[in-house]
Amino acid sequence: MLSEGDDQQDPIADSARGVLDGHIVLSRRLAEEGHYPAIDIEASISRVMPAVVSPEHMARAQHFKQLWSRYQQTRDLISVGAYVAGGDRETDMAIALHPVLVRYQRQGLRDNESMQGSGEALASIFAPAPGG
């Protein structure tokens, strides 16, 4: 189902979201930043993902989403230089990994990625650094 506009409170769309296996929410802000596909991962959900990926993949995806969300919550403080590193370990990690998280989400118009390749790329984000 395609719902137009930025209003997530549309009663018809809201009813459909309640019974569908998931939904993908596109972000105007991400699109305006040239981020494609412009999927708002904070607002999007898949109810079938736990049934089609390994528990490890699911845990990494949830951690990815948590870090992305943490960065978005702190974005304004970061942009004006008001965030002080060391105050929150999870936020520090979100800031350090943000460029990698953005690269993982972006895809060229003609790029294709297999489920296995996507899972391996996700795993590499959280793999320990060599020698550490």
Query: Average pLDDT in the 83-98 region?
Result: 94
Closest CA relative to residue 43, chosen from 95, 90, 8, 91 = 8
Question: Which amino acid is it at 126?
Answer: F
pLDDT at 10 over 90: no
* Whether residues 14 and 66 fall in one domain: no
Strands (E), the chain: 22-23, 45-46
Q: pLDDT tens for residues 49-62?
A: 999 999 999 999 99
Owning domain of residue 93: 50-124
Q: What is the pLDDT of residue 25?
A: 87
Answer with the residue of higher pLDDT: 2 or 75: 75
Question: Domain holding 60: CATH number?
Answer: 1.20.1270.330
Q: Is residue 130 part of a domain?
A: no
Bridge partners (DSSP) of residue 22 are 46
Long-range contacts of 109-117, Cβ-Cβ distance < 8 Å, separation of 24 or more? 109/36, 115/53
* Whether residues 58 and 97 fall in one domain: yes
* Whether residues 39 and 60 fall in one domain: no
Query: How far is Cα of residue 52 from the mean position of the Cα atoms in its chain?
Result: 18
Q: pLDDT tens for residues 22-38?
A: 888 888 988 998 888 99
